[in-house]
Structure 1
């Protein structure tokens, strides 16, 4: 697994990271969670709502309720529909000068296991999901499925 460290000084962090993450599927966590993830060797789904989340409601999330790890799906981020929804959940939201983030880029061999967001429309539509941007990975994501870790800090 490739490990990359990036420090951003100024400007829009998402815009600066876009060349590295467009076309990819990835999970984001606060940097302080990395030692525990590394220790257990996987990213766990937030089944019981006990894990910290930086991206909204942990109790009413579509993919949490399906026992999935939520991931950002930027494979088609250049298309019109995903562009319309990108502002609803930015992967850089938890990034602050006090706390960095870790971007876990999934290897392409994991893509066939992803659950798309559009199943949401056939169930309880009060659950939170980000159309065209969010996908779910059923169960835990083993670190062996991660092709790159990107550690990001900002001034």
Structure 2
């Protein structure tokens, strides 16, 4: 301990020498949150007419990430494909929901939707992929993705 006496001061100040002070652990608080996100979509095979025909169909792949701090179970992921021939009256061509179980913290899960072999030929489609929010989810803006798909049908 060091004692300082300042002239003109009527009190003393005690200071601990830092070299002899015992470090005190600092508690770190990690906020607990639920947060799932759709990172993107892909197709197997890629969106190429000849590849789709030779493969016998196409499979939609959706990447989902758990950005929260809890393992999430029973999460519904829905994909809908609409006919965009008449945007005012978009007709649903396909609708499928998968349930994702035990998506661990930090995990990126690739969900594979059923292969479609009898897709009606169109010049363009509208794909909507939606992840149902989990209880108390902090950010649901990234649970929804929509894509316009054009130019895969050979004429």
- TM-score, scaled to structure 2: 0.28
Rg bigger for which structure?
A: 2
- TM-score, scaled to structure 1: 0.28
Q: Which has the higher helix share?
A: 1
- Larger RCO (CA within 8 A; separation ≥ 6): 1
